[in-house]
Structure 1
Amino acid sequence: MSKSVWAVVPAAGNGSRMRADRPKQYLPLLGKPVIRHTLERLISHPKIQGVIVAVAEQDPFWSDLMLPDDWPVYLATGGSQRSDSVFNALFYLRQLTDDDPWVLVHDAARPCLRHTDIDRMLTQLAEDPVGGILGIPMTETVKRVNDNHRILETVNRDNLWRAATPQMFHLKHLLQALQQTIDAQCQVTDEASAMEYAGFQPKMVEGHADNLKITLPQDLELAALYLQRQGDQLA
């Protein structure tokens, strides 16, 4: 892959569903904050040149991470929505580089990302004109319900995937796509949605199911189990 590769981590959310005294990315996990694990996974990958982290203004927890001075981590200002944080991080990145690098946008609360999943994305998307995202095929039975939680139908799960991160796109295309959604006041929940809004069709790349996103309190225990199983191999 000739293009440089950077990572963006939106980390300005408050994680209200965790019912904790701090945002979920700062909760302790095996002796380190969740986001520290996440950044280690990205920084230690040999193809990733650096990471832009978008944090909330006056974030009182970031400085407590005490990251190594030689880590290529840069701070951007987070926004009220995920798309605002990613846009600000991309705009910052544009000031750091003269080319149009690949950007891997990864959730701060996904600390179990494997290097093999990053490798698979870089290989499968190297020559792709659009880019794509990491995901997991749906294996469970899926139900659609009404407002009262009564089942309306069983959804055919063929070709249905659970979207995950990283989501990998060209800096220029993703910046333009996010700008379009912001201008249109169209809220998107991930970067692929912004690319779809702009008329692109991102590719789905299959990843490991242990790349979970910490959302609920019980997810911390599961993430700890996954990390312990993975050990230090970052496999």
Structure 2
Amino acid sequence: MTAPTIWAVIPAAGRGTRFGGDIPKQYLEVAGQPLIAYALDALLAHPRVAGAMVALAANDQRWPGWTELHGKPVLRCVGGGERADSVLAALQALPADVGGDALVLVHDAARPNLQRGDLDRLIEAATGEADGAILAAPVRDTLKRADGGDRIMATEPREHLWRALTPQAFRRGALSDALRRAQSDGIVVTDEAMAMERAGAHPRLVEGREDNLKVTTAADLALADYLLSHRRRVGAT
């Protein structure tokens, strides 16, 4: 049986307004490189991944102009106002020979510490799952429900709750259809799995590392810098 084609999609059209500052967070530097460089490197270093499509803002002046990494194509397209719009634009812009059954890995541009082992397990799981699979982490903290005044109303059970991570892996055709349906229904989905869930799918949860963090705050950036600097030092020894 022939292994399915795998492409990576990186939505990077956002401004990262929650982080603050003039630089979109995907271009913030840690350990000498922008966050998006680490995201691309982790994906394209995998032997099963054939290439990447990056969805950028129409007026992006910071894109370094990469066209190849690890001998594989790095393509770009214009994204949209919401994450789902950018992912759909990227799916539509993939090369014509990437069929509807091709596996697509959607990964956050500001999630720089993806490890090879997690990617191996995700691809293995998603290859055998018609509904796809996502990296995720079980919720380990105690959860509190608050009222409008930030006072505790209740303690919520954490059993069977997971934090969604990326990459999230789905077939190109099924994910495109699910995103279009959500768009038509006026629903803003916050990740690809949510779109697939609305279409009736039940994606597999693949436990991933807790340090596969998404940079959202200054504290996240400092932690990412520490983790990546440590990886570089260990790799050099």
Q: TM-score range by the shorter chain?
A: over 0.9
- 1:90 paired residue number: 91
User: Which segments of 5 or more consecutive residues in structure 1 lack a partner in the other structure?
Assistant: none
Separation in structure 2 between the aligned mates of residue 102 and residue 83 of structure 1, nearest angstrom: 17
- 1:211 paired residue number: 212
Separation in structure 2 between the aligned mates of residue 66 and residue 187 of structure 1, nearest angstrom: 30
Alignment of 1:91-106 (within 5 A): 91-93=92-94, 95-98=96-99, 100-106=101-107
Alignment of 1:4-19 (within 5 A): 4-19=5-20
Given residue 28 of structure 2, which amino acid in structure 1 is its aligned partner? L
Separation in structure 1 between the aligned mates of residue 37 and residue 67 of structure 2, nearest angstrom: 8
TM-score by length of 2: 0.93
- 1:117 paired residue number: 118
Separation in structure 2 between the aligned mates of residue 181 and residue 143 of structure 1, nearest angstrom: 30
How many residue pairs are counted as aligned between the two chains? 232
Contact 1:76 1:92 in 2 (8 A): yes
Q: Deviations over 1:119-146 (max 9, x none)?
A: 0011222211111110011111111111
Secondary structure at 1:42 match in 2: helix
Q: Deviations over 1:86-115 (max 9, x none)?
A: 000001116342452100000000000001
Q: Sequence identity, in percent?
A: 43
Separation in structure 1 between the aligned mates of residue 5 and residue 231 of structure 2, nearest angstrom: 27
Contact 2:99 2:172 in 1 (8 A): no
Separation in structure 2 between the aligned mates of residue 176 and residue 66 of structure 1, nearest angstrom: 29
Separation in structure 2 between the aligned mates of residue 177 and residue 67 of structure 1, nearest angstrom: 29
Q: 1:7 Cα deviation (Å)?
A: 0.6
Given residue 199 of structure 1, which amino acid in structure 2 is its aligned partner? G
Given residue 182 of structure 1, which amino acid in structure 2 is its aligned partner? Q
Separation in structure 2 between the aligned mates of residue 95 and residue 80 of structure 1, nearest angstrom: 25
- 1:21 paired residue number: 22
Secondary structure at 1:58 match in 2: coil
**Counterpart check, 1:184 vs 2:185:** yes
- 1:72 paired residue number: 73
Contact 2:103 2:171 in 1 (8 A): yes
- 1:200 paired residue number: 201
- 1:230 paired residue number: 231
Contact 1:33 1:65 in 2 (8 A): no
Contact 1:133 1:203 in 2 (8 A): yes
Separation in structure 2 between the aligned mates of residue 115 and residue 97 of structure 1, nearest angstrom: 23
Q: 1:2 Cα deviation (Å)?
A: 1.1
Q: 1:227 Cα deviation (Å)?
A: 1.5
Contact 1:43 1:72 in 2 (8 A): no
User: Which segments of 5 or more consecutive residues in structure 2 lack a partner in the other structure?
Assistant: none
Given residue 112 of structure 2, which amino acid in structure 1 is its aligned partner? P
TM-score by length of 1: 0.94
- 1:144 paired residue number: 145
- 2:46 paired residue number: 45
Separation in structure 2 between the aligned mates of residue 99 and residue 191 of structure 1, nearest angstrom: 16
Contact 1:36 1:65 in 2 (8 A): no
Given residue 52 of structure 2, which amino acid in structure 1 is its aligned partner? V
- 1:34 paired residue number: 35
- 1:60 paired residue number: 61
Given residue 41 of structure 2, which amino acid in structure 1 is its aligned partner? E
